[in-house]
């Protein structure tokens, strides 16, 4: 899956012959799962039609401050367009547009959007070789990169003039690769392994029965998704669940019992940088597991239970460089109990859910959590979706890691 999936890409097109390649560029961004809008300079419409680009991007194309085809003259809001974009890619970027960008000139909607955009900006120059070599063009490159814009260098090859040399716009595939690699290189969890536990555990009574709980696994899967999207290699050890995740960087390891979860977690802990234990692990399991289905006999029936291993505590006991996060589900004296767990299990952070809070806990898609850090800072959050809670949790971890 591309890092561009679900990202908003604003493609800026200026008046160079390489604009004919913009159609392929839109297609490739769409194929990568991105949402694409196009903003063009008026002159670039001589090279490629807005109709082609709006058809491919499935969005209106902007080339002037007011909608020319509209009798009511709707104003195209360059500020909103700039804010919509997660990434602004200007390809092709002509010498003229780059010189204007470098000097704050703002005489068309593309330039106004550039000045309004707060997102990363990439530009892919395209021009004839002598223009490319000119001192003023070089000065534009320098100024633009000094503002934090990223240049996608032109290639060498046959140019529209018939001359051969530097100035050919990077191929659309290379532009996509450049943007993807650049984004990946900036992700905060790049090169990190995050170990996550999720879901319930089932403790066998006999071949057909077990002791389990209502955990859906949703919280852990959401955390895995957020961590992977931030560049982590995720090992997700999950008890039985209906949750699905389709992400190249998430390795799901299905387990059933607390004992299996313990074994798998210990296989991966040493090589992990962060461990987040969100599973609802059974605290007790049947001491003896019948090898045949137990037949009903007396009016009462008891099962002797024994403690399972506390996976979280076992990690707290051996942790070296790892950042360790636990969950606590409490019904009374919540803060006090959570703080005790934080200390006794040697955690860096604990996520407290109180079952007193409506919308928190098992079987619902929302959660209301309080974070308690190792220095006992208490950060309360309102009721949010589990996806948002996962975002908050990962941001909290990053904050503590960089404190
Ligand atoms: N946990 C674990 N292994 C267990 C039990 C719990 O790793 N055998 C982890 C959970 O994944 C969670 C944290 O410990 O991150 C807290 O679990 P919880 O059941 O709330 O607390 P316990 O320590 O089991 O204490 P109690 O049941 O008495 O509240």
* pLDDT per residue of the chain (403 residues) written in tens, 0 to 9: 789 999 999 999 999 999 999 999 999 999 999 999 999 999 999 999 999 999 999 999 999 988 766 566 677 788 899 999 999 999 999 999 999 999 999 999 999 999 999 999 999 999 999 999 999 999 999 999 999 999 999 999 888 888 888 899 999 999 999 999 999 999 999 999 999 999 999 999 999 999 999 999 999 999 999 999 999 999 999 999 999 999 989 999 999 999 999 999 999 999 999 999 999 999 999 999 999 999 999 999 999 999 999 999 999 999 999 999 999 998 899 999 999 999 999 999 999 987 777 777 677 788 899 999 999 999 999 999 999 999 999 999 999 999 8
Q: Which of 259, 306, 326, 342 to mutate to test the pocket of ligand 1 (most atoms within 8 A of CB)?
A: 326
**Number of domains comprising the chain:** 2
- Tokens matching residue 99: 């010189």
On whether both 62 and 144 belong to a single domain, the answer is: yes
Tell me which residue range forms the domain holding 165. 8-185
Q: Which two tokens stand for residue 47?
A: 């090279």
* Ligand 1 midpoint to CA 389 (Å): 19
Verify that 397 and 258 share a domain, yes or no.
yes
Distance CA 79, CA 77 (A): 5
CATH of the domain at 175: 3.40.50.1950
Which of 185, 208, 240 delimits the end of a domain?
A: 185
Domain identity same for 363 and 270: yes
User: Is 213 labeled as catalytic in the residue annotation?
Assistant: yes
Q: Does one domain contain both 163 and 217? A: no
Are 319 and 224 found together in one domain?
A: yes
Q: Are residues 214 and 161 in the same domain?
A: no
Question: Where is the domain boundary, 152, 185, 218?
Answer: 185
What is the distance between the alpha carbons of residues 363 and 218, in angstroms, rounded to a whole number? 8
The pTM of this model reads: 0.82
Is 170 found in the same domain as 32? yes
Torsion-angle region of 228 (φ positive above 0: left; ψ -120 to 50: alpha; else: beta): alpha
Question: Distance of CA 107 to CAs 47, 87, 114, 115, 320, Å?
Answer: 20, 22, 11, 11, 58
Q: Let me know if residue 298 belongs to a domain.
A: no
| Alpha carbon of 271 to ligand 1 centroid (Å) | 23
Strand, coil or helix: what is 278? coil
Last residue of a domain, one of 129, 152, 185: 185
Question: What CATH number is given to the structural domain containing 329?
Answer: 3.40.50.10300
Q: Are 392 and 367 in contact (CB under 8 A)?
A: no
């Amino acid at each position: 899956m591309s890092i561009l999936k679900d990202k908003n890409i604003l493609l800026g097109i200026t008046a160079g012959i390489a604009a004919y390649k913009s159609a392929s560029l839109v297609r490739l961004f769409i194929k990568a799962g991105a949402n694409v809008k196009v903003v063009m300079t008026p002159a670039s419409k001589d090279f490629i039609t807005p109709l082609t680009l709006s058809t491919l991007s499935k969005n209106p194309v902007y080339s002037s401050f007011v909608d020319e085809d509209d009798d009511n003259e709707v104003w195209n809001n360059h500020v909103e367009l700039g804010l919509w974009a997660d990434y602004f890619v200007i390809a092709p970027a002509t010498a003229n547009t780059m010189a204007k960008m470098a000097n704050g000139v703002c005489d068309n909607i593309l330039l106004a959007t550039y000045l309004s955009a707060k997102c990363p900006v990439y530009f892919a120059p395209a021009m004839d070789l002598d223009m490319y070599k000119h001192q003023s063009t070089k000065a534009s490159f320098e100024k633009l990169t000094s503002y934090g814009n990223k240049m996608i260098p032109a290639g060498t090859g046959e140019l529209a003039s018939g001359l051969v040399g530097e100035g050919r716009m990077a191929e659309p595939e290379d532009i996509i690769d450049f943007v993807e690699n650049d984004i990946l290189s900036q992700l905060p969890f790049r090169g990190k392994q995050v170990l996550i536990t999720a879901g319930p555990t089932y403790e066998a009574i006999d071949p057909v029965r077990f002791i389990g709980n209502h955990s859906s696994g949703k919280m852990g899967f959401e955390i895995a998704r957020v961590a992977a999207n931030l560049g982590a290699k995720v090992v997700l050890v999950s008890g039985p669940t209906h949750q699905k995740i389709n992400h190249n960087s998430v390795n799901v390891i299905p387990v059933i019992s607390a004992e299996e979860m313990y074994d798998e977690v210990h296989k991966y802990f040493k090589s992990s940088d962060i461990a987040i234990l969100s599973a609802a692990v059974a605290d007790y399991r049947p001491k003896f597991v019948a090898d045949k289905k137990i037949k009903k006999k007396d009016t009462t029936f008891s099962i002797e239970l024994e403690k399972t291993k506390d996976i979280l505590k076992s990690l707290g006991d051996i942790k070296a460089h790892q950042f360790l996060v636990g969950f606590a589900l409490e019904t009374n004296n919540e803060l006090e109990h959570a703080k005790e767990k934080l200390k006794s299990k040697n955690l860096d952070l604990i996520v407290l859910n109180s079952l007193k809070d409506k919308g928190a806990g098992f079987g619902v898609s929302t959660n209301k959590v309080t974070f308690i850090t190792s220095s006992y800072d208490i950060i309360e959050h309102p009721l949010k979706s589990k996806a948002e809670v996962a975002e908050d949790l990962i941001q909290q971890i990053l904050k503590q890691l960089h404190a």
